């Protein structure tokens, strides 16, 4: 991959400013995370609508629920590790169960803070968040999709959990791409097997497909931006039409992989391999190195596909 | 149970207090019967806050059944942080005309809108789904900030248990409200001194509570929380330049003789005989109130 790469936080910050200009109900709620969320310009433009509660995640999510009760559209922006784990009960009770219109934006999720160690990793979030009724869970792949998802969230009535990555990723989608919640995107057709990836691993899945194609193995590549509600029909079709599925995610394999496994087991049993983090705290290393280590490099994904194809 | 509705406009202080005392007694009469029938509930902590609930819903708050039904964004908010006192909330709403009294018969039954903890998805007058402790104050801070952003005079009230203040999330929110000088926010702390299984002071003491709240940037008012004549002015006046914490000194189980200040009555269920004793005592109060009305 020699193409230009992007930090999706820039697209997030631009999309937030645009959403706030378009709708005065839009506010951000942060836990001393203005800089790490790249919201400095937003705070300058909308000082009153930037609510920084300090380092207090339970309070942060509760305050956001109250703002939604008061007619605002709050975007909570905080490091994924603290947002998901520290405020889990507020996400469950104050946001999802209370049906408050709060958007939870997990910055630098997965292993983006790779070398800071497991306290700062957020690889459990897909698995945790997809268990909460009514909560939409989304992981955009690149700047174009990040901007699309933020714009969708601002107009969508209902709670959502959205990952925004700081890990450099190449552009996957052209300008004009339209995000459709709950729908998979077929990025490449093929019948030998299907790779289902989400977020930062989509570009890696496409690179793996290139390696396989060089050997005459044509695989289908599905991007799955919405972990929940999952596009079950696309999963079943992928298994039925290709014979085997490989999932790839920057998370525990009980996230996207778990969701796909449940659909296949109930609706269309098929061979499945899940690439991601297993039952251990990740060791220290950069995000890219950690992903490679668990088999999410293009070569690693291709090797796993060959077990099925 | 009588549906008394809000205190009539133009009522004198004495008339308003009388109306609210009648309402509080009606709520307690109905609530003890509800728990006796459902064989579950949290009567002790419900009776300690009944006076606050009726004073807010029937008098102090800018709210009406019509505003609730219409989802009026300018309505005042009440967040019941001690959500286990749901039966008192439901019954106060029914006495105030916000909820049909027939619904009270379904308390805790399958598919009832009356959960053991309140849900806004089921009852229009409920603002947040509470139950886990330490959630209401942060939510109330959020509704208060929303009012500031709107340039609105609407107020937010939040009703907290004293034992609940052991949850750290409250202190995060006390700090935020003090820092932002949210004078449109009033927190009522139900200082009944008892938590589920023991005295607060013997478990993880809160004192000096008033000093702590003042240090966090709040104005503190200490009142007898089971005395409507004392509660009413404390609730009516918002803070001048900072949030207000009302430490409402109450008795768990007030005013029933065998429940009052008795740690056993957190979620104990009265026998039929005990329901009868409570009703007789409450009927005595009702009789005195009605006699006053007739004089």
| Cβ within 8 Å, pair A64-B142 | yes
pLDDT by residue for chain B (295 residues), tens digit each? Answer: 899 999 999 999 999 999 999 999 999 999 999 999 999 999 999 999 999 999 999 999 999 999 999 999 999 999 999 999 999 999 999 999 999 999 999 999 999 999 999 999 999 999 999 999 999 999 999 999 999 999 999 999 999 999 999 999 999 999 999 999 999 999 999 999 999 999 999 999 999 999 999 999 999 999 999 999 999 999 999 999 999 999 999 999 999 999 999 999 999 999 999 999 999 999 999 999 989 877 7
Tell me which chain A residues have a C-beta less than 8 angstroms from the C-beta of B73. Answer: 70-71
Q: Which of B128, B138, B156 is the closest to A59 by Cβ?
A: B138
Is B139 in contact with A51 (Cβ distance < 8 A)? no
Q: Taking residues A152-179, what's their average pLDDT?
A: 96
Question: A132 CA to chain B: closest CA distance, Å?
Answer: 15
Smallest CA–CA distance, residue B240 to chain A, in Å, is 21
Mean pLDDT of chain A: 97
Q: Are A159 and A153 in contact (CB under 8 A)?
A: no
Mutate to test the interface with A, among B72, B127, B136, B139 (most CBs of A within 10 A): B139
Helices (H), chain B: 13-38, 43-55, 65-70, 86-96, 136-150, 168-179, 200-203, 209-215, 228-236, 272-294
Two tokens at A149?
């998802």
Structurally, at CATH architecture level, domain A185-308 sits in 3-Layer(aba) Sandwich (3.40)
Contact B142 A58 (CB under 8 A): no
- Residue A153's nearest CA partner among A162, A166, A144, A140 is A162
Which of B132, B135, B172 comes nearest A56 by C-beta?
Answer: B172
Contacts of residue B105, defined as CB under 8 A and 6 or more positions apart, other chains included, come to: B37
Question: pLDDT grade, residue A282 (50/70/90)?
Answer: confident
Helices (H) and strands (E) in chain B, counts: 10, 5
A73-109 in b/e burial notation, b at 16+ Cβ within 10 A?
bbbbbbbbbbbbebbbebbbbbbbbbbbbbbbbbbbb
Which chain B residues contact residue A71 at CB under 8 A? 73, 146, 150
Residue A62 · residue B169 · CB < 8 Å: yes
What value does the mean pLDDT take over residues A129-150?
Answer: 98
CB atoms within 10 A of CB B249: 19
Beta strands in A165-241 (DSSP E): 169-170, 185-188, 194-197, 220-223, 226-228
- List, for residues B167-208, the tens digit of each pLDDT value: 999 999 999 999 999 999 999 999 999 999 999 999 999 999
- Contact yes or no for A229/A159 (Cβ under 8 A): no
Mean pLDDT in residue range A26-55: 97
Which residue segments constitute the domains of chain B, with CATH numbers given? 13-294 (3.40.50.970)
- Contact state of B139 with A94 under an 8 Å Cβ cutoff: yes
Task: Count CB neighbours of B213 within 10 A.
Answer: 22
Residue pair B85/B45 in contact (Cβ under 8 Å)? The answer is yes
Task: Provide residues of B within 8 Å CB-CB of chain A.
Answer: 73, 77, 79, 119-121, 127-132, 134-135, 137-147, 149-150, 156, 168-169, 172-173, 175-176
User: Residue A304: which of A263, A283, A276 has the closest Cα?
Assistant: A276
Instruction: Indicate whether A204 pLDDT > 60.
Output: yes
Q: Which CATH superfamily is domain A5-170 in?
A: Thiamin diphosphate (ThDP)-binding fold, Pyr/PP domains (3.40.50.970)
Region A65-92: mean pLDDT is 98
Q: Which of B130, B168, B176 sits opposite A63 (nearest CB)?
A: B176
pLDDT at A1 over 60: no
Give the separation between CA A226 and CA A126, rounded to whole angstroms.
Answer: 10
Question: Measured between alpha carbons, how far is A256 from B289 in angstroms, rounded to an integer?
Answer: 64
Q: What is the CA radius of gyration of chain A?
A: 19
Residue labelled with tokens 């307690």: B28
pLDDT per residue over A265-280, tens digit each? 999 999 999 999 999 8
Distance from CA of B212 to the nearest CA of A (A): 18
User: Which token pair is B243?
Assistant: 């949030």
**Å between B202 CA and nearest CA of chain A:** 27
CB-count exposure of residue A303 (10 Å: 0-12, 13-18, 19+):
middle
Residue A66 gets the label, from left (phi > 0), alpha (psi -120 to 50) or beta, of alpha
The pLDDT of residue A2:
53
**Tokens of residue B224, six digits:** 């007898």
Closest Cα of chain B to A109: distance in Å? 24
| Intrachain domains A5-170 and A185-308 with the same fold | yes
- In chain A, the residue whose alpha carbon lies closest to the alpha carbon of B129 is A98
Residues of A in contact with B146 (CB under 8 A): 66-67, 69-72
How distant is the Cα of A175 from the closest Cα of chain B, in angstroms?
35
Mean pLDDT of A107-116: 94
Asked if A58 and B77 come within 8 Å (Cβ–Cβ), the reply is no
Q: Domain limits of chain A?
A: 5-170, 185-308
Cβ distance A70 to B145 less than 8 Å, yes or no, reads yes
Cα–Cα distance measured from residue A102 to residue A91, given in angstroms and rounded to the nearest whole number: 9
A18, A24, A57, A262: the active-site residue: A57
Annotation says A57 is catalytic: yes
Q: Give the span between the Cα atoms of B282 and B25, in whole angstroms.
A: 6
CB neighbour list of residue B246: distance below 8 Å, 6 or more residues apart: B186, B187, B188, B189, B220, B221, B222, B223, B225, B231, B234, B235
| A68, A74, A93 member nearest B135 (Cβ) | A93
List strand residue ranges (DSSP E) for A122-173, in order. 136-138, 160-164, 169-170
CB pairs under 8 A between A and B: 112
- Nearest residue on chain B to A90, judged by CA atoms? B135
Polymer length of chain A = 309
Which of these, A238, A230, A224, lies nearest to A194 by C-alpha position?
A238
- Cβ atoms of A87 and A60 within 8 Å: the answer is yes
Sort out which chain A residues have CB atoms less than 8 A from B168's CB and list them. Answer: 58
Q: Which of A307, A194, A162 is nearest to A260 (CA)?
A: A194
* Whole-model pTM over 0.90: yes
CA angle, B215 then B218 then B220, to 5°: 100
C-alpha dihedral, B50 to B52 to B57 to B59, nearest 10°: 120
């Amino acid at each position: 991959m020699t193409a230009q790469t992007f930090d999706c936080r820039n697209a997030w910050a631009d999309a937030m400013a645009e959403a706030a200009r378009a709708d005065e109900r839009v506010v951000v709620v942060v836990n001393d995370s203005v800089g790490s969320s790249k919201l400095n310009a937003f705070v300058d433009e909308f000082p009153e609508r930037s609510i920084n509660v300090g380092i207090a995640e339970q309070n942060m999510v509760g305050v956001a629920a109250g703002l939604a009760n008061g007619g605002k559209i709050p975007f909570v922006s905080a490091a994924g590790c603290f947002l998901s784990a520290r405020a889990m009960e507020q996400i469950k009770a104050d946001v999802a169960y209370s049906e408050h219109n709060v958007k939870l934006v997990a910055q630098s999720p997965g292993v983006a803070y790779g070398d800071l160690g497991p306290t700062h990793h957020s690889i459990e979030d897909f698995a945790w968040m997809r268990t909460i009724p009514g909560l939409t869970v989304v992981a955009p792949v690149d700047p174009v999709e990040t901007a699309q998802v933020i714009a969708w969230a601002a107009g969508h009535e209902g709670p959502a959990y959205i990952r925004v990555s700081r890990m450099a990723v190449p552009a996957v989608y052209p300008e004009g791409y339209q995000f459709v919640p709950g729908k998979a995107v077929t990025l490449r057709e093929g019948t030998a097997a299907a790779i289902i990836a989400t977020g930062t691993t989509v570009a890696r899945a496409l690179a793996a497909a290139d390696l396989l194609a060089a050997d005459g193995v044509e695989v289908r590549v599905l991007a799955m931006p919405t972990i929940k509600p999952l596009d079950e029909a696309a999963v079943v079709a992928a298994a039925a039409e290709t014979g085997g599925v490989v999932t790839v995610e920057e998370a525990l394999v009980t996230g996207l992989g778990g969701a796909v496994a449940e659909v296949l087991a109930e609706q269309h049993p098929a061979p499945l391999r899940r690439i991601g983090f297993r039952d251990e705290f990740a060791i220290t290393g950069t995000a890219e190195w950690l992903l490679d280590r668990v088999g999410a490099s293009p070569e690693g994904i291709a090797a796993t596909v060959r077990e099925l194809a | 149970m009588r549906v008394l509705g809000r205190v009539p406009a133009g009522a004198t202080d004495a008339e308003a207090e009388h109306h609210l005392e009648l309402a509080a007694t009606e709520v307690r009469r109905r609530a003890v019967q509800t728990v006796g029938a459902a064989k579950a509930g949290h009567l002790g902590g419900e009776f300690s806050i009944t006076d606050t609930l009726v004073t807010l819903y029937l008098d102090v708050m800018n709210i009406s059944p019509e505003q609730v039904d219409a989802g009026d964004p300018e309505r005042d908010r009440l967040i019941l942080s001690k959500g286990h006192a749901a039966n008192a909330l439901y019954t106060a709403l029914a006495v105030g005309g916000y909820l049909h009294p027939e619904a009270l018969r379904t308390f805790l039954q399958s598919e009832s809108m009356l959960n053991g903890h309140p849900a806004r998805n089921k009852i229009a007058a409920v603002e947040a789904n509470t139950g886990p402790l330490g959630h209401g104050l942060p939510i109330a801070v959020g509704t208060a900030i929303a009012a500031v952003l709107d340039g609105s005079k609407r107020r937010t009230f939040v009703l907290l248990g004293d034992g609940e203040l052991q949850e750290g999330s409250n202190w995060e929110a006390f700090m935020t409200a003090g820092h932002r000088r949210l004078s449109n926010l009033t927190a009522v702390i139900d200082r009944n001194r008892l938590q589920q299984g023991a005295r607060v002071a013997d478990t993880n003491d809160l004192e000096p509570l008033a000093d702590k709240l003042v240090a966090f940037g709040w104005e503190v008012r200490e009142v007898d929380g089971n005395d409507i004549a004392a509660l009413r002015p404390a609730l009516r006046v918002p803070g001048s330049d900072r949030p207000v914490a009302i430490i409402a000194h109450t008795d768990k189980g007030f005013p029933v003789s065998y429940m009052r200040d008795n740690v056993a009555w957190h979620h104990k269920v009265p026998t039929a005989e005990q329901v009868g004793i409570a009703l007789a005592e409450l009927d005595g109060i009702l009789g005195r109130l009605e006699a006053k009305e007739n004089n």
